Amino acid sequence: MANCIVHVTFFLLTCYCLSAASVPQNAHTAGLGQLGVNWGTMTSHPINPTIIVDMLRANGIRKVKLFDANPWTMTALGGTHIETMVAIPNDQLSQISTDYNYAKKWISNNITRYYYDHKVKIRYVAVGNEPFLKSYNNLYINSTFPALRNIQKALDEAGLGTVIKATVPLNADVYNSPNNNPVPSAGEFRVDIRQIMHKIVHYLNHTGAPFVVNIYPFLSLYQNPHFPIDFAFFNGTNKPIIDKGVKYTNVFDANFDMLVWSLKKAGVPNLKIIVGEVGWPTDGDKNANIQNARRFYDGFLRKIANKTGTPKRPGGMEVYLFGLIDENQKSILPGNFERNWGLFTYDGRPKFAMDLTGTGKDQYLVGAKGVEHLPAQWCVSKKEAEERYYELSNSINYACQMTDCTALGYNSSCNGLSLLGNASYAFNMYFQMHDQDVRACNFNGLAIITEENPSTDKCLFPVQIISESQRKEAGVYGVPLLVLLISLLYHLLV
Ligand SMILES: *[C@@H]1O[C@H](CO)[C@@H](O)[C@H](O)[C@H]1NC(C)=O
Ligand SMILES: *[C@@H]1O[C@H](CO)[C@@H](O)[C@H](O)[C@H]1NC(C)=O
Ligand SMILES: *[C@@H]1O[C@H](CO)[C@@H](O)[C@H](O)[C@H]1NC(C)=O
Ligand SMILES: *[C@@H]1O[C@H](CO)[C@@H](O)[C@H](O)[C@H]1NC(C)=O
Ligand SMILES: *[C@@H]1O[C@H](CO)[C@@H](O)[C@H](O)[C@H]1NC(C)=O
Ligand SMILES: *[C@@H]1O[C@H](CO)[C@@H](O)[C@H](O)[C@H]1NC(C)=O
Ligand SMILES: *[C@@H]1O[C@H](CO)[C@@H](O)[C@H](O)[C@H]1NC(C)=O
């Protein structure tokens, strides 16, 4: 037991950096009111936001959290009644903190306009994203609180302050408990930021805004090989933590209550808490797979639907799942799993059975409708390429640097391929990334285009989708149609 507590210490203290993603449609989704999703957009081939919004509605999801105020996304949310948390990226905090006129402009351009003209149901403005992560080395330490105040003031001045609240999504690394007493009740805000955290939480309490925290049981497991695996899930453990007579059987509750205690010690015991990010990745690590993700969500969604809450905060909980879609352009500095957090694949297909209403039904979410793929063709390595080992290795490295090869890694979905298999995977990713441009499937004659699908049950060789951003910019609608018309005319005339 003592031994277990030591391990428990580690995960409760754990800090990690990450991140950085309506009206009820049918009766069975009625219980989803408190459930939202993070809609991140760091992908090379974005799905049309209108298709995404339709997908959210088809699944009864009525809340989204964004990481910016992208006009395309915002416009798509117009008139839908989906509650939206809009975000200000960290790199704007400095200017917003020192220049109130800029803060006003930000609100007017990115909030007021969408709220009134487009009827986007904006509820929160997230000022920065996890700005106090230890890995940022205090970069945003002086700008975050002034930026928060300027944004709320600008909202108030715009007449929206009672409807829209400014807050700061924070990682669970802003609080911890001492090594020698790693229980929730010993929790307090991190000593190096305690003063500023106390100011922020009093301000949030004053404005009526919630505290937004990101909690990742997966990362507790990822970072600590001794972490008792059952403690990351919700169906019991033989190594619970006992804290002042309260029994904790999962790290999510323990971590959440550590925040509750920290708030109490800061003098705001009743501050509302929202979980801004929570989820489980499906590839890129030995614990990041479909079985574990399914187990995690199954337990978590039952808990949310049941309004169990935590020992210190029983009752309903507002949570945003992370994330909606896999994002192939996220940094993999935190780990190879980082691009694989989606409930849906890159092309909008649900990955596993999941019942958002928390009744454990064995059903899939409704996928994206109307996503168009490029032709069914792949780029693979030629058999004779094996003899050119040096060139082949270099080409794999090059292709992988330019695209996403996280599936090839240890204990990932495409691990264990041969050298030629690795090459095919890398070449195909590169080819698809470049919209199947024939020039992207050459690699000095090592590669060839095929219509034979190299995928296996376990390892998917994807075919990319027609990127909506390209469609918009280059006019996949416009130019080819014109070409078609001209050639038609030509044929008619000749
Ligand atoms: C929001 O408003 C600011 C200030 O007007 C502007 O610089 C920024 O580009 C706008 N859009 C987004 C997506 O942040
Ligand atoms: C924040 O302010 C403190 C006190 O004025 C100063 O010492 C520190 O260098 C500042 N940090 C940053 C990152 O600007
Ligand atoms: C926090 O907000 C509540 C509700 O508005 C209020 O009753 C309470 O006094 C506030 N606490 C502090 C410490 O300001
Ligand atoms: C929880 O469920 C998983 C499978 O869903 C099972 O493998 C595990 O043994 C269960 N743990 C407990 C403590 O019941
Ligand atoms: C549901 O809530 C009840 C009472 O709050 C509790 O006893 C039960 O264990 C909960 N079930 C789940 C699956 O969380
Ligand atoms: C990880 O990969 C090794 C080697 O392929 C394999 O023996 C092991 O079972 C894998 N573990 C998991 C959890 O997938
Ligand atoms: C394939 O690529 C993975 C990931 O880079 C690597 O670990 C593995 O050793 C490679 N396999 C071969 C046979 O080169």
Distance, CA 180 to ligand 4 centroid (Å)? 30
pLDDT of residue 489: 45
pLDDT of residue 468: 72
Atom index in ligand 1 nearest the CA of residue 71 equals 13
| Same domain, residue pair 137 and 272 | yes
| Same domain, residue pair 48 and 158 | yes
Decide if 330 is inside a domain: yes
CATH at residue 23: 3.20.20.80
Distance, CA 382 to ligand 4 centroid (Å)? 45
pLDDT of residue 469: 66
pLDDT of residue 239: 86
- Using pLDDT thresholds of 50, 70 and 90, give the confidence band for residue 314: very high
| Same domain, residue pair 328 and 385 | no
What are the pLDDT digits (tens) for 142-163?
999 999 999 999 999 999 999 9
Decide if 478 is inside a domain: no
Give the domain extent around 419. 378-464
| Same domain, residue pair 333 and 388 | no
Across the range 214-236, mean pLDDT stands at 95
62 lines ligand 5 (CB under 6 A): no
Decide if 125 is inside a domain: yes
What are the pLDDT digits (tens) for 443-467?
999 999 999 999 999 999 999 999 8
Ligand 4 site residues, Cβ closer than 6 angstroms: 230, 235-237, 295
Decide if 367 is inside a domain: no
| Same domain, residue pair 72 and 165 | yes
Q: Assess whether pLDDT exceeds 50 at residue 9.
A: no
Across the range 336-348, mean pLDDT stands at 98
pLDDT of residue 485: 43
| Same domain, residue pair 334 and 404 | no
138 lines ligand 2 (CB under 6 A): yes
Decide if 482 is inside a domain: no
Decide which of 339, 369, 395 is a domain's last residue: 339
Decide if 118 is inside a domain: yes
Across the range 268-283, mean pLDDT stands at 98
pLDDT of residue 1: 28
Note if the bond before 128 is cis, omega within 30 degrees: no
| Bridge partners for 165 per DSSP | 124
Average pLDDT, the chain: 90
Give the Cβ contact number of residue 202 at 10 Å: 14
pLDDT of residue 360: 87
Q: Which of 356, 244, 254 is nearest to 14 (CA)?
A: 254
Across the range 52-79, mean pLDDT stands at 97
- Using pLDDT thresholds of 50, 70 and 90, give the confidence band for residue 10: very low
| Same domain, residue pair 24 and 123 | yes
In the chain, % of residues over pLDDT 90: 86
pLDDT of residue 94: 98
Q: Assess whether pLDDT exceeds 90 at residue 399.
A: yes
Enzyme catalytic residues: 130, 277
Nearest CA to ligand 2 atom 7: 142
What are the pLDDT digits (tens) for 418-446?
999 999 999 999 999 999 999 999 999 99
| Same domain, residue pair 334 and 398 | no
* Stretch among 23-27, 308-312, 323-327, 380-384 having the lowest mean pLDDT: 23-27
| Same domain, residue pair 100 and 226 | yes
Distance, CA 336 to ligand 4 centroid (Å)? 26
Q: Assess whether pLDDT exceeds 60 at residue 312.
A: yes
* Stretch among 118-122, 381-385, 476-480 having the lowest mean pLDDT: 476-480
| Same domain, residue pair 320 and 407 | no
CA dist 262 and 258 (Å) reads 6
Q: Which of 154, 180, 176, 178 is nearest to 165 (CA)?
A: 154
pLDDT of residue 22: 33
pLDDT of residue 493: 45
Concatenate the DSSP letters of all residues of 136-184 into one string: GTTTTTTTHHHHHHHHHHHHHHTT-TTT-EEE-EEEGGGEE--TTS-SG
pLDDT of residue 135: 92
226 lines ligand 6 (CB under 6 A): no
- Using pLDDT thresholds of 50, 70 and 90, give the confidence band for residue 20: very low
pLDDT of residue 33: 65
| Same domain, residue pair 328 and 388 | no
| Same domain, residue pair 279 and 396 | no
Decide if 47 is inside a domain: yes
**Number of domains present in the structure of the chain:** 2
Decide if 474 is inside a domain: no
pTM (2 decimals)? 0.90
CA dist 236 and 141 (Å) reads 39
Look up tokens 């190594």; give the residue.
239
Q: Assess whether pLDDT exceeds 80 at residue 3.
A: no
SS3 39: strand
